[in-house]
Structure 1
Amino acid sequence: MDPFLRGLARFTDGYLRALPLMGRARPGRPGSIPRLAVAERRVVARDVVALRLVGDGPLPAWQPGCHLDLHLDSGLRRQYSLCGDPSDRTGYRIAVRRVGAGSTEVHALRPGDRIAVRGPRNAFPFVAEGPVLFVAGGIGITPILPMVLESRRRGLDWRLVYTGRSTDSMPFLDELPGDRVDVRVGRADGPLRDAHPDGAVYCCGPPSMLAAVRRDFASTRLHFERFAPPPVVDGRPFDLELRRSGVVLRVPADRTALDVLRDLRPNVPHSCRQGFCGTCAVGGVRVCVDRPAGDRLVLEEL
């Protein structure tokens, strides 16, 4: 490796180690978190609603791939991708599929309600260079849609494979450009057959789709975002120590530290459980999905 690449590697390694600290969610007083108002609520697919959130003036700029952290009144925190127009500074759009307690709470919001919001943050950045293949499954279209529209605006060489169980479960079908879009209902076979060997792939969808894409496209130009943590595979047990209280919990080989911690403290702050944003990282280990290098993981503040 030449001196330039050695320097670049050192910089990248330091930057990646710093990302968990930069993105870590910190609890704050309810009044310290900005609140946006729900200006519009629209059903865009079965069990999926789109919300337009507005403030008192222009909102911070964002790029395709960004998401918002929603601090719900119940105390839950959830992340949702921005799926509107980045050039529109008057409001943010998110789309939420109802799959659990947090999303059910979001579905209950109505125009005029206000919600505490942090962000935007980008854990899924789009480089905007072609050729590029987009692969989206169901609600995974939310971060992909702005990337598709940006690619079309820039005149890039792009394709989209969009899969779902049925058309009524697939949001934003009516907003996709008619050309270069392959909509597959009830099947997701061979999504990478149109991928350029020297191009990039951006993928968002269920774990089975991500596993297939990662298996079939072994390239550093594969970018993806998870909506669920990967399963614990070949895990091993370890101890989780809560330094302040002195409590030591045993984490089995088939469970995560966060799962075990929530058995003891159901209301412990956590953010996404998605394995991509780093908000729960402790010493470089993501509490939701990773295992520590040794036999014990120590949490200083709990």
Structure 2
Amino acid sequence: MDVAALRTFVTVAETGQFQAAADELGISQQAASKRIAALERHIEATLLVRTSRGSRLSLDGQVFLPHAKKVLAAIEQAERAVRPGSRPLRADVLNRRIAPAQAVYRFYRSHPGTDLDVVTLSAENAAQAAHAVIEGIVDASFRALPADQVPAGIRAERLLDAPLELLVGPGHPLANASWVRPADLAGHRIWIPGIRPDTEWSAFYQALSKAFDLSIDALGPHFGDEALMDALADSASLATLVGSGDRYLWPRTHDLRRIPLHGPTPVYPHMLLSRSGDQHPVLTALRDHLRTTGPRTPQDVWTPDWVDR
């Protein structure tokens, strides 16, 4: 059914005149008449009867009018639901503890009342997350995606670099260091449980291991972050790596130490993925917020070769 013809019928019914309806719709009277004639042919019923004073609804037109109004109202509601700014921005933050989630949270705190829906996709890797953005499952996602793998239709912006820190228990040999070099970690066991093959973070840590001759593994089951904190607190040799913006909590008695890495500073390059041309006002505001409030990137940065600098 032609929506324009349906809207013309409702307008003629409300104004009582073809010319008045045509003026309201910004079309000619002849175009309005053609639309009504096509609509009547489609439903095989006469809806309007012309009179010397204009037009009036036939009996069929009286029955049809409330249904036509409901259809137009539903169409308007559907259009409004996807109009930029008329629905929440749906953002994938990968993990609610790490830097992207904390950055989005700070954005929300600084923009109270923002219509925002924060999710963690079940996507296995950056390519799948980008596909979810293209399909409209989410409006944006934070992932580390090589420039040559950014699919058509995706805008990828490196807006959130997360410098890495060493996290150790109080008995670790490096526990009292104010900072350490990545090369100083050679020979120490670095455990990062939960790394899945064929993911961008797996590729990142493989490149980091190769660049600085580190021993990084994900051996054994991952019982959650709390279990990892317990293991670190009880070990004099175990360490892990976290982002400087990641939020982890542990009992005070664990006395864990977060130690910055410098010389160079490895950073995890979170990129904001969104659909090309997406004009959602919350996305625009989030992008501006990240540009102006993000942590200052150190001068001596290390990233894998596949990261677009």
Structure with bigger strand share is: 1
TM-score by length of 1: 0.29
Structure with bigger helix share is: 2
Q: Which has the higher contact order (CA 8 A, sep 6+)?
A: 2
Structure whose CA Rg is larger: 2
TM-score by length of 2: 0.29
